[in-house]
Chain A
Amino acid sequence: MQCYLIFISFPCHLTMLTKVCEKFFKMCTFVHQILIPRYNMSNIKRLRKGLNIKLKGKADYILEQADMAKSYAIKPTDFPGLTPKLKVKEGHTVKAGTSLFFDKYKPEVQFCSPVSGKVVAIRRGERRRILEVIVEADGANTYEEFTKADPASLSADQIKESLLSAGLWPCFIQRPYGVIANPSEQPDNIFISGFDTNPLAPDYDFILSGQTKTLQTGIDALAKLTKGKVYLGLPAEGASKSFQGLKNVEVNTFAGPHPAGNVGIQIHHTKPINKGDLVWTITPQEILYIGRLFETGRFDLSKIVALTGSEVQQPKYYKTIGGANIETIVKNKTKQEGKERIISGNVLTGTKIEEDNFLGFYSSQVTVIPEGDEYEFMGWALLGFDKFSASKTFFGSLFPKKEYTLNANLHGGKRAFVLTEQYEKLLPMDILPVFLLKAILANDIDKMEQLGIYEVIEEDLALCEYACTSKIEVQDILRQGINTMIKELS
C-alpha cells in the first residue's frame, strides 16, 4: 500500500523538486554573473576538451640574434604531398628569393632560397626522393627584387602573381587535406590562429611585438584573395598586443586548453568545413613574410624561433632565418646529459632532426627532449610521481601545476584499440575520431567523408596520439586517409 502512495504522490514530488532546482540554478547564474562579468561577453568560445601538456623548458622572454648560419636549406619533405622539380643544380649561385624548385603538378608554386649564396648539395633519400636543397650562404645578403606595392592598390591576381613568384605561396595551407593551397582556386575564407597552445609553444605576443604595421600589410593582401573574410582566432587571455586594431579581419575569441590554438579547431567552431568547402590557413609569422614582401619587395624569411625543452640550458628566443642550419641555435646550448632528441617544431607535430640539420619551413620552435631509449624496470607498475599522463593513473596527476621532463620513449607496446572515449576527451570537435580512423583503416571513402575527414589534419588529432594507451599512430593513419581522399577525388 505504501508504495502505491509513493507512486501517486510522485508527480507532486517531481514538481517540487523541479522548482527547487530552478531556484538553485537561477541563484547560481546570478552569482556567476556578479563574480565573473566576462561570462556575459558571449563572444568567447569556451572549449572544455583538450589538455595542456606541461613540459619543462619554456622559453624565457629574451631575444638573441642568432649567428648567420653557414648553410640554409629548403626541405620538400616539409610540404605534404609535394612532388618537387628542381630548377637549380649544385654549384649554381642564387640570391635570396631565387627559385630552387617548384611543384611538378602546380608549376607556378615556387620554393625559393632564403639567402644568397651557392647551391652546395641536393640531398636525396630512398628512391632518389629529394630531401634537402642546401644553399651555402655567401654573407652578402643580395635579394631578388620583387614589386613593392601597397596590397590595397593591387588586384587579387597581381597579389597572387607576386606571392607565387616570390616563393611565398607555400605559406597558404588549404583545408580540407592540409596541403599547399591551389593557386587556381579561391578560398571561401582565410583563417589565422593568433596563438599557439602546443607544448612549450612560442608566445606570439613576444615574437610579433611591434610588427602591427607589417601584419596589417600582409592581412590586406590576404583579404584580396578570398571570397569571404579573413578570420583571426585570439585567446581569451594574453592575446598579442600586435593584433590590436587590425583592420580587414574578423576576430573570434577562444578559451580552453590545447588544441584551442589550432586553426582547425577554430574553423570548426566558426564555420565548419563541409564537403565542397575550401578555406586557407596561414600563421602570423608567415603573414609577416607577406607583409615584408609588399613593404620591401624582398623575400625575407626572418623569423623569431623559440629554443625550448627540458634539455636546453637556457631556453629563450632567437632571431634567425627560415631554413637556417640549427647549429647556430642549438650547438653547445643543450645539457648533453644523455642522448637528446632535437625536434624542429613542437613535441606533438614536429620533425626529428639532427644537430646539423635545418629549421623546417613552418617551424617557429625548436624543442630538445631526452631520447629516453632506456629500459625502465617495472615502469608500468610504479607510482609515478614524476609521470605526466592524460589519465589519472599516476600520482603525478595529484600535482596539476608541476612541469615535467618527458622523453621520446613509447612507454609501452602497440595494441589494438581498447579504451574508449580517450580521444574524444582531447578533441573539441563534433567528430568521432576512433570511428574516423577505423574508416580510414578500412579504406572506406564514403565513411571517411561522412565522419568528417575534411575538417581535420594531423595536428588536430596529435593530442589523441599522445594520449593513446594502445600507442596507435594516429597522425600517420590520418595522413594515409587524406592521401586516399586526394587520390580518389581528384
Chain B
Amino acid sequence: MKAIRNIFEKTKPYVQKGAKYHWLHSVHDGFFTLFFVQKDTSKSGTHIKDYLDLKRTMAVVVFALVPALLMGIYNTGYQHYKAIGELATTGFFDICLFGLIKVVPFIIVSYVVGLGIEFVFAQYRGHEIQEGFLVSGFLIPLIMPVNTPLWMVAVATAFAVVFAKEVFGGTGMNIWNPALVARAFLFFAYPSHMSGDSVWISLKDTDKVVDGFTGATPMALAAAGTPDYSVMDAFIGLIPGSIGETSALAILIGAIILIVTGIGSWKIMVSTVAGGLFMGFLLQTFAVNEFMAIPAWHHLVLGGFAFGAIFMATDPVSAAQTSKGKYIYGFLVGVLAILIRVVNPAYPEGMMLAILLMNTFAPLIDYYVVEGNIKKRLKRATANA
C-alpha cells in the first residue's frame, strides 16, 4: 500500500500546474482518490464529517446492480442455448461463460468511452473526476439488447455523457438520467436494433433455432395480442429482454440493498409501483384487447418496469428532490409507463420514455412543492400579524 502511495506522491509534482504533464492531472487525481481517501481535514464548519462520500454512494448503487448483472449474464446464455435447443445438454458454467463473453465487452466499452470523456472534461474544467459515471456506465450495458453492436454502445455512451451530462455541468447538474438518454438515443437513431424479434437473443447466422422459436419478448407477444409467458419465468428473469432488466428477483435484491442503505429513495420506488399498478388495474378493468386484460401486477415483472422503477427513476439528480414531489413524480412515472406500454402501439415499452418525461417535469413538481412551503410560511406570518 505504501508503495502505491509513493508512486502517486512521487508523480504528483509532474502533474502540478505548470509542470510538463499537467494535462494528466485529472487522471492522476482520479486514480489517487480512488485508491486513497485523501488526508484533507475540515477547515471550517463541522470538525467531523460523515464517512459517506460520493464514491461510497455510487459503489453501493453498483453493488445493488450486481445481482441484475449476474442474472443478465446467465440469462444471455440461457436464451441462446434455449433458442438453439441445447439447453438440456449445456452445463451451468457454459451458459454463464457464453453470457460473460457477450456481456463483459458491453461494460468495458461503456466505461472506457464514458470515463475517457469524463477525464477530458474534468481536465478541461480543472475539477476533480466526479463519480456519477460509475453508475451510469454500469446501467448502460444493462439496458441494451444483447445484440446491440458495440460501436453503437460507444456512440450512445458518448452522446449521453456529452449532451446529457457534461453540457449541463457534470454530475449533479444534469436534467435527464444519462443512461436513459443513451438508450433513447439508440432507440430513435437505430430503431431496428432496439426493438423487434431479433435483437434480444444472441445468435450467430449459422445457429439453427428450434421450431416455434420467435425471439420476441413476452411483452411484444402480449402487445401483439397473444400473451404467452410464465409469470414465474418473468420474475426470475428467464425471458428475452435487455441484459439486466429481465429478472425482477435480482432487481428486488438490488432494491432491498438500496432501501436498507438509504441510498435509493423508497418513496419513488413505492409510488412508481403504485402508479403502475393503478394504471394497470384501470386498463385491466376497461380492457378491450388481450394486452389490456393482463392482470395489473404482471406489468411489474414484464419489460423494463422493475429495473426502471428501482434504478432509473430513483436517480437523485434527475428525479424530484422534495419529499412530496417524489411521491407525485414516482406515481406519474408508473402511470405513464404502463399507459405508453399498453395504449401506444408505436412503443412496445414505456418505462424509458415515462422516466425521461418525468425527469423533464421533476423541476416543475418541485417548484410547486417549494411554493407550498413558501405559502405556508407566508400564511403563518400574516396570521400572526
Contacts and interface: CB of A to CB of B under 8 A. Distances in A.
A369 interface: yes
B41 A409 contact: yes
A276 interface: yes
Given A377-B1, A408-B41, A420-B321, A465 B57 contact: no
A446 B287 CA distance: 51
Contact of B171 (A277, A416, A473): A416
Contact of B173 (A341, A348, A372, A416): A416
Q: Which of A277, A352, A409 has the most CB of B within 10 A?
A: A409
A417 interface: yes
Contacts of A381: 55-56, 59
Interface in A399-436: 406-421, 424, 430-432, 434-435
Contacts of B60: 393
A342 to B, nearest CB: 10
Interface string B25-54: 000000001011111111011111111111
Interface stretch (A159-167, A239-247, A248-256, A383-391): A383-391
A212 B59 CA distance: 54
Given A276-B385, A415-B172, A375 B48 contact: no
Given A393-B262, A419-B57, A375 B46 contact: no
Contact of B42 (A349, A410, A430): A410
Contacts of B5: 375, 377
Nearest to B285: A7
A26 interface: no
Contact of B47 (A274, A348, A388): A348
A418 B263 CA distance: 11
Q: Which of A367, A421, A430 has the most CB of B within 10 A?
A: A421
Given A380-B56, A393-B52, A374 B172 contact: no
B36 A379 contact: yes
B344 to A, nearest CB: 22
Interface string B357-385: 00000000000001001101110110011
Given A375-B38, A380-B59, A391-B261, A412 B171 contact: no
B130 interface: yes
B106 to A, nearest CB: 24
A102 to B, nearest CB: 27
A469 B57 contact: yes
Contacts of B131: 415
Given A348-B47, A409-B40, A377 B35 contact: yes
Contacts of B171: 415-416, 418
B48 A347 contact: yes
A473 B46 CA distance: 8
B46 A466 contact: yes
Given A389-B51, A409-B40, A432 B373 contact: yes
Nearest to A350: B47
Contact of A373 (B4, B41, B261, B319): B41
A430 B376 contact: yes
B54 A387 contact: no
Nearest to A413: B128
Contacts, number: 214
A438 to B, nearest CB: 10
A470 B373 CA distance: 25
B42 A452 contact: no
A450 B378 contact: yes
A410 B49 contact: yes
Interface in B248-304: 260-263, 265, 284-285, 287, 293
A408 B48 contact: yes
Contacts of B323: 421, 424
B346 to A, nearest CB: 26
Contacts of B287: 3
B132 interface: yes
Contacts of A375: 5, 36-39
A462 B169 CA distance: 27
Interface in A82-134: none
A462 B45 contact: yes
Contacts of B374: 450-451
Given A371-B41, A430-B373, A476-B44, A272 B128 contact: no
Q: Which of A393, A419, A431 has the most CB of B within 10 A?
A: A393
A356 B2 CA distance: 35
Contacts of A474: 45
A390 B41 contact: no
Q: Which of A272, A384, A412 has the most CB of B within 10 A?
A: A412
B191 to A, nearest CB: 33
A471 interface: yes
Contacts of B385: 274, 276
Interface string B171-184: 11100000000000
A74 interface: no
A79 interface: no
Nearest to A384: B51
A466 B50 CA distance: 6
Contact of A417 (B45, B172, B377): B172
B170 interface: yes
B198 interface: no
Contacts of A410: 38, 40-42, 49
B317 interface: yes
A393 B44 CA distance: 25
Contacts of B376: 430
Given A378-B35, A409-B40, A466-B48, 14 more contacts: A341-B47, A372-B39, A375-B36, A377-B5, A378-B37, A379-B51, A381-B56, A389-B52, A392-B262, A412-B37, A432-B373, A451-B370, A469-B50, A476-B45
30 contacts: A3-B293, A272-B380, A276-B385, A347-B47, A348-B46, A371-B41, A373-B39, A375-B38, A380-B56, A381-B55, A389-B52, A391-B52, A391-B262, A392-B260, A409-B37, A410-B40, A411-B51, A412-B37, A412-B56, A415-B131, A416-B170, A416-B172, A418-B171, A430-B373, A430-B376, A432-B373, A452-B377, A469-B53, A470-B54, A471-B53
Which 7 pairs, one residue from A and one from B, show the smallest C-beta to C-beta distance? A412-B53, A416-B172, A379-B37, A274-B381, A380-B55, A376-B37, A375-B36
